[in-house]
């Protein structure tokens, strides 16, 4: 079956041209009329379709791409510089993991699994920052599906020995609390005290676990550390074997920890990875690999004839936290369209670095889009509006 060429649109091309850049796909086979979903084969084998073939208007879709290219983030290309600026004046902000310069605006749009638009360097591996959290949540889901975590309401202390959960306050923390960012865990992990990311007040009085929501990267790293103890294997290996290989992702992605996050597991020295890039590290991957991961979520955990993740887990992961309705198990939700007003309420997202890295899953329109380095929520929202305006059926 012949492949279709998708134009690779660049900022430079856009600036040289005075007319819109067309989204033109040629030489494609007709879209299947069966109800069997399409799944891309491994690596670079991914079929494309003209927008019209999947019920989209090419000119309107092109408007979304032109808009994305015109609104590149103002964040420094040097991640270390940007991180230092963002958290200036807060103690314990030393970079302890690797960083790398970012690329330019790029993205991909899938409808019914087919590529309908692709622009920029979508094979480039970039830091993903908090997009990593949604991958971490998925590994927790796999552990729960297999019975390694018997109940989400179990105390994590039953699974992880040592000082992390010894105090009376920390002993009551459950897996659900860690996944929902309501744990209120107190302590120091890998040289970073939880106060290094207490965004709701460094000196505030902590609440009972489960009663207060706070986005806190130290506690996210604690989830990664705890899952390492459950899986008894480095999480990058688990992700490779259980998710990325089965969905045909490339081999270019990497998942980093910190120079301070080495530990011993069954007599072997292993690095606990980070759940984001706040102090460096985290999952680094290409836009294309993110699109495969997003498509797995759109297909409710199934890839071809293989069930990778239970549909029940995806339902749990995308159920709003009672005290934070736009958050689930480390996926951002769109309850009352509170995250992105242009997107349907059923949409959910993996977001990183102020929405400069986005995986958008839209079940209502059978659509996945990944964008990199658009300048934050306002412009990502407008990109979404323009994409949805291109849908005809």
Domain of residue 94 covers 78-374
Return d(Cα 280, Cα 259) in angstroms, integer: 10
Whether the full predicted model's pTM is greater than 0.85, yes or no, is yes
Q: Is the pLDDT of residue 177 over 90?
A: yes
Return d(Cα 241, Cα 5) in angstroms, integer: 30
Return d(Cα 88, Cα 83) in angstroms, integer: 8
Cα atoms in the 13 Å half-sphere on the side-chain side of 118: 24
- Asked if the structure places residue 48 within a domain, the reply is no
- Asked if the structure places residue 275 within a domain, the reply is yes
Cα 128-133-138 angle, rounded to 5 deg: 120
Cα atoms in the 13 Å half-sphere on the side-chain side of 234: 17
Return d(Cα 203, Cα 58) in angstroms, integer: 53
- Asked if the structure places residue 325 within a domain, the reply is yes
Min mean pLDDT across 22-26, 180-184, 295-299 is at: 22-26
The pLDDT assigned to 19 comes to 32
Helix (H) or strand (E) holding 351: strand 348-352
Q: What is the CA radius of gyration of the chain?
A: 21
Q: Ramachandran region of residue 190, left (φ > 0), alpha (ψ -120 to 50) or beta?
A: left
pLDDT in tens, 25-55: 333 444 444 579 999 999 778 999 999 999 9
- For the chain, how many structural domains are there in total? 1
Residue 174: strand, helix, or coil: strand
H-only helix segments in 28-101: 58-70, 79-86
Q: Is the pLDDT of residue 159 over 70?
A: yes
- Asked if the structure places residue 9 within a domain, the reply is no
Helix (H) or strand (E) holding 141: helix 131-145
The pair of three-digit structure tokens given for residue 380, joined into one six-digit string: 């990502």
Contact 385, 342 (CB under 8 A): yes
- Asked if the structure places residue 161 within a domain, the reply is yes
Return d(Cα 245, Cα 139) in angstroms, integer: 14
Contact 140, 331 (CB under 8 A): no
**Residue 3 pLDDT grade (very low, low, confident, very high; cuts 50, 70, 90):** very low
Q: Residue 112 maps to which CATH number?
A: 3.40.710.10
- Asked if the structure places residue 55 within a domain, the reply is no
The pLDDT assigned to 34 comes to 52
- Asked if the structure places residue 72 within a domain, the reply is no
What is the pLDDT averaged over residues 341-346?
98
- Asked if the structure places residue 122 within a domain, the reply is yes
Contacts of residue 364, Cβ cutoff 8 Å, sequence gap at least 6: 344, 346, 347
Contacts of residue 181, Cβ cutoff 8 Å, sequence gap at least 6: 213, 214, 215, 216, 219, 220, 321, 324, 327, 330
**Residue 200 pLDDT grade (very low, low, confident, very high; cuts 50, 70, 90):** very high
Write the DSSP assignment of 211-265 as a string of letters. Answer: S-----HHHHHHHHHHHHHHHTS-HHHHHIIIIITTTT--S--EEEEEEEEEEEE
Q: Is the pLDDT of residue 231 over 90?
A: yes
């Amino acid at each position: 079956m012949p492949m279709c060429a998708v134009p690779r649109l660049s900022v430079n091309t856009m600036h040289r041209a005075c007319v819109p850049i067309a989204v033109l796909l040629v030489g494609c086979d007709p879209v299947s009329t069966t109800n069997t979903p399409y799944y891309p084969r491994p690596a670079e084998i991914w079929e494309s379709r003209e927008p019209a073939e999947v019920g989209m208007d090419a000119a309107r879709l092109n408007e979304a791409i032109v808009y994305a290219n015109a609104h590149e983030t103002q964040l420094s290309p040097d991640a270390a510089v940007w991180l230092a600026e963002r958290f200036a004046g807060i103690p314990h902000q030393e970079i302890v993991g690797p960083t790398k310069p970012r690329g330019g605006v790029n993205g991909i749009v899938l409808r019914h699994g087919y590529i309908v638009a692709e622009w920029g360097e979508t094979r480039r591996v970039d830091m993903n920052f908090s997009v990593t959290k949604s991958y971490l949540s998925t590994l927790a889901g796999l552990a729960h599906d297999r019975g390694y975590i018997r109940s989400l309401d179990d105390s994590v202390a039953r699974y992880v020995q040592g000082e992390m959960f010894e105090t009376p306050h920390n002993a009551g923390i459950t897996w659900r609390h860690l996944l929902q960012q309501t744990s209120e865990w107190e302590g120091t992990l890998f040289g970073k005290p939880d106060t290094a990311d207490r965004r709701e007040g460094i000196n505030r009085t902590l609440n009972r676990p489960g009663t207060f929501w706070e986005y806190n990267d130290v506690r996210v790293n604690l989830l990664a550390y705890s899952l390492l103890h459950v899986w008894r294997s480095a999480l990058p290996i688990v992700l490779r074997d259980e998710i990325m290989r089965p969905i045909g992702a490339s081999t270019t992605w990497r998942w980093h920890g910190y120079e301070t996050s080495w530990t011993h597991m069954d007599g072997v020295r292993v690095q606990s990875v980070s759940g984001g890039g706040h102090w460096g590290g985290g999952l680094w991957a290409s836009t294309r690999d993110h699109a495969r991961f997003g498509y797995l979520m759109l297909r409710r955990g199934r890839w071809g004839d293989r069930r990778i993740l239970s549909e029940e887990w995806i339902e749990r992961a995308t159920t709003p936290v009672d005290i934070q309705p736009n958050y689930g198990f480390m996926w951002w939700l769109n309850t009352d369209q509170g995250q992105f007003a242009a997107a349907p309420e059923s949409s959910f997202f993996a977001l990183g670095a102020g929405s400069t890295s986005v995986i958008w899953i839209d079940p209502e329109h059978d659509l996945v889009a990944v964008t990199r380095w658009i300048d934050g929520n306002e412009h990502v929202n407008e990109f979404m509006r323009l994409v949805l305006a291109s849908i005809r059926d």
